[in-house]
Copies of this chain bind each other. A is one copy, B any other.
Amino acid sequence: MSVMSNVVNRIAWDEKGLVPVIAQDANSGNVLMFAWMNREALEQTLILKRAVYFSRSRNRLWFKGEESGHVQHVKAVRMDCDQDVLLLLVEQVGGIACHTGRNNCFFEEYDWDKQDWHVVAPVLKNPDDIYKS
């Protein structure tokens, strides 16, 4: 199975050949994380129906869950009005998307009274138990 080039060519890839990607839990609606894809990552995501990102820090494809087991099964891939952002609707294996062991990465919230950030979501699993050596 291959991905037709017209699908990937619709995307307005940025100057680095990347597109921003938002992953949302298809069931809870929680925004889980934000990452990037290159062409190959999108193709692999569409073929495998599993989230594959491009890791800018490691400069390689990142098969989400490859170390943690916290795979994201992709139920839908949506594109925005400028064709330069993607939204994935996913089923999050283990209910943990964040490397800190939380459901999602957006766990600090601004407190208008204290005028500072504060943590609003619990650690569900110790990262040391997620990433065993």
Give the interface of A toward B (CB within 8 A).
Answer: 3-4, 6-7, 10, 20, 22, 24, 29-31, 33-34, 46, 49, 76-83, 85, 87, 98-100, 102, 105-110, 112, 115-117, 120
The listed residue with most B CB atoms (<10 A of its CB), out of A3, A49, A85, A102, is A85
**Complex contact A33–B80 (CB within 8 A):** yes
**Complex contact A109–B77 (CB within 8 A):** yes
**Complex contact A98–B76 (CB within 8 A):** no
Question: Which chain B positions have C-beta within 8 A of A20?
Answer: 20, 34
**Complex contact B78–A107 (CB within 8 A):** yes
**Complex contact A81–B110 (CB within 8 A):** no
Q: How far is the CB of A97 from chain B (nearest CB, A)?
A: 10
Complexed CA–CA distance, A81 and B109 (Å) = 11
**26 cross-chain CB contacts under 8 A:** A4-B116, A7-B110, A7-B115, A7-B116, A20-B20, A22-B34, A29-B29, A29-B30, A31-B87, A33-B80, A34-B85, A46-B110, A46-B112, A76-B109, A77-B110, A78-B109, A79-B106, A79-B110, A79-B117, A80-B105, A80-B107, A81-B99, A81-B105, A81-B107, A83-B108, A85-B106
Measured CB to CB, the nearest residue on chain B to A46 is B110
